[in-house]
């Protein structure tokens, strides 16, 4: 019984983390910037980048991540457009 060797450890399987497309990150950055500087020049590109990013993520079949980042950029971009238009109208 003392001569028994322990079984070898199971092989380590590296799990790949889905890569976030840069356009999703740009969408979020532009959306945040739209509240501090030039809502018109940053909110519209934020919305466009967000839609492009979500389309790329959807078509990748799981190879790309960052859906939440792209969605946050979209939502903040649309909010910035509404707030900016409202502020421009009443100022």
| pLDDT, tens digit (0-9, with 9 covering 90-100), for 6-60 | 888 888 777 788 899 999 999 999 999 999 988 889 999 999 999 999 999 999 9
pLDDT on residue 1: 56
pLDDT on residue 56: 97
Q: Where is pLDDT greater, at 1 or 38?
A: 38
Lookup: tokens for 71: 């969605």
Residue 64 lies in a domain: yes
Provide the domain limits for residue 85. 22-90
* Claim: this prediction has a pTM higher than 0.85: no
pLDDT band at 2 (very low <50, low <70, confident <90, very high): low
Residue 36 lies in a domain: yes
Other residues' Cβ atoms within 10 Å of the Cβ of residue 74: 22
Q: Where are the alpha helices (DSSP H) in 1-91?
A: 22-33, 39-60, 67-90
Residue 6 lies in a domain: no
Lookup: tokens for 58: 């959807």
Residue 9 lies in a domain: no
Domains identified in the chain, total number: 1
Residues 68 and 23 sit within 8 Å (Cβ to Cβ): no
Residues 29 and 77 sit within 8 Å (Cβ to Cβ): no
């Amino acid at each position: 019984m003392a001569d028994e060797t322990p079984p070898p450890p199971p092989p380590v399987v590296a799990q790949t983390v889905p890569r976030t497309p840069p356009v999703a990150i740009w969408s979020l950055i532009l959306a945040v910037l739209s509240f501090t500087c030039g809502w018109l020049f940053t909110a519209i590109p934020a919305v466009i980048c967000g839609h492009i990013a979500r389309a790329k993520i959807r078509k990748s079949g799981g190879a790309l991540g960052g859906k939440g980042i792209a969605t946050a950029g979209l939502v903040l971009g649309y909010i910035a457009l509404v707030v900016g238009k409202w502020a421009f109208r009443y100022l």
